[in-house]
Each structure stands twice: as structure tokens, then as C-alpha cells.
Amino acid sequence: MRNIDEKAKRFIVTGAAGFIGFHIARKLLEAGHFVTGIDNLNDYYDIQLKKSRLQKLNKYPRFNQHLISIETRGEFQKIYLREQPHFIFHFAAQAGVRYSVENPRAYLESNILGTFEILEAIKNKPPLHTIIASSSSVYGMAKIMPFSEKHKADSQISFYAASKKSVENLAHSFSHIHNVPITMLRFFTVYGEWGRPDMALFKFTKAIFENAPIDVYNGGEMMRDFTYIDDVVYAATKLINKIPGKDAIDEDDQDFEEKSIFFRVLNIGNSNPQPLMKFIRAIESSTGNKAKINYLPMQEGDVVNTWADTTLLESIIGTFPKTDVSTGVSKFVDWYKTYYL
């Protein structure tokens, strides 16, 4: 792995008005870097929340924004050639497992075609490192726990998950052909302040404050590797100067599938799965209200358990913070009350 210095660098962050992209961009700006944020402010969820995130970022003099759709042919390339960033965080994507059942085309266009446009733009003169968001949902129906990057991931059960695995495959091919250093991050149930309204923590908190019932699938019998946003940002930004190269692969490890020397996949999770009901009890404790629970069968495209093996990640960046659920939920509820109540 090649290392770079810690002086101010130029970054492009796609999905800068999104949940994780916003937090990444803000962390980079706080560190004194230059950040170009790209987003199309689509209406999948409350646009005002996205605008509020951008308002926070626009307070930093080293931030500039472009409101474009990355899947529009040639639009990203214009920005890339003008900005000539040292690094890219590509986090723009159509999110949501359940929505992908209703509108799979949105995932085809944003996730697959959008990523293709990014890769096409950078292939001839790549940045030092491109970090791309993937998802733990690519593990699909895998039974072996914890989920490891060493395991095959060929059984996705939602179009969202399939689109993310497709992105990984596209990125690997471009990395191999054009020697583009790329790291894929498989995120595990990220939650925290400024989170998306379609995510469980947000929906449950809103309903509990409003004394409305919450829908809990599979009778509540699910485990999730809940990962707090600050821990995700810490790990992701630590990877900036950990650039894949010839020593990114342990050639003595026969369990690893052969991959391009400039490409890697990493899990980012808490590596401590918790019962969904414990998550709900933490929300009850933080809000001071009791949840009214509507138990439902398992929902199509969802999985029962997730659990991240973070051994590989920690071998690269060292140990990183792993916030417990009660602390993370409490911080989210405090933010929710400040922003909405």
C-alpha cells in the first residue's frame, strides 16, 4: 500500500447531500481539505433534509457543490477534469432494499449506470484512490457468519443488493484493466444523526414520539450489526491514504479469491450484532415513550441476520471505535428532537 502526506487535498464526494456522504464531506472539511460535493437532490425522501445537510457544508469556504445526476452522460467527467481531485468518495446511489422491489429501474440508472460514468471519467487519469460505497446486503442468503470478504457473495435477494454487487464487479474490471486503485466499502446497518427517514431508527423514533404504531418484521426475530455513523466516518477516512497496491493481497492466503492488485473490498461494521428488539428498547429509553408494535411477517428482499467480520479492515487501519447501540441511539434521538421537535 502506498501512503500519501496529510496536507490539504482535493476531494470529490458524490452523494454529498446524502446521509453518509454528508458526514464524510464534513469530516474532510473539518480537516482542512477541499471538497467538491455532488448530488441531484432526488425526492426519494425529504429534500429539505438534504438541503439542510448542504447548508451545513456550504458554511465551509473550501466546499463547493454541483447539483447533477451522475448517470447523465459526461456530466461527472466535466467536473472531474476541472477539479482534478486527489481522491474520490463515490457514495451517490439509490438506497433502500424495499423500494428496489417497487422501482428497480432507479437502481439500474443511479447505482450501475452512475458508477459506470464515474469509472469512465477516471480510467485514463485516475485519482490516487477511489472509495466506493457498497452494502452488507450483497451477502444475500449467505449462511456463514460473521460475513467475511473471503466468502462468495453470489446470492443477492433484492435488486438493491444485486445493483451493489454489480457495482463491485464493474469497479473490479476497471481497476484491473486500467490500474485504478479502488476500495469498496460494505456498510453494515449504518445509523445516527442526519440519517435517512426511510431507515428503521428514524421511522421508529418518529412513530414513538407521535404515539403511532411501528411495523416490526419477522416478529422482531432479527439481528443487525448496527454501526454508528461516527465509527463509519472514522474508518472510511482512515482508509484514504491506505491505497491498494501489490502488497494489498496476501498471496499466502489461499482463501482469498484472486483479484486485481489495485482493488479491495472491506466490511465496515460494528462486528457485534444486536437483536432488533434491543434496538427498539434503546429508542424507548431515549425517547421516554413506549413503542406500540405491529408484528409482521418477514418482508420480501430482507435478511434475518447481519454480522461483519472486520479483521481485514483492522489489519489495514488498526482498531477503530465501535459505539454501543444505547449510546448511538441516544445521540440520534437528541439530534431528532433538536431538528424536528
Closest listed residue to residue 15, CA positions, set 125, 151, 204, 167: 167
Alpha helices by DSSP H, listed for 85-212, are 99-102, 104-107, 114-122, 159-178, 200-209
Report how far residue 321's alpha carbon sits from residue 279's, in angstroms, rounded to the nearest whole number.
19
Told to judge if 295 belongs to the known catalytic residues of this protein, a careful annotator would answer no
Catalytic residue (one of 44, 160, 217, 336)? 160
CA atoms within 13 A on the CB side of 308: 29
Secondary structure class of 8 (helix, strand, coil): coil
* Sole residue written with cell 451545513: 56
Burial track 25-47 (b if 16+ CB lie within 10 A, e otherwise): bbbbbeeebbbbbbbbeeebbee
* Residue indicated by cell numbers 447481519: 306
Q: Which residues touch 14 (CB under 8 Å, ≥6 apart)?
A: 21, 38, 39, 70, 76, 88, 89, 90, 91, 92, 114, 118
Catalytic annotation, residues: 160
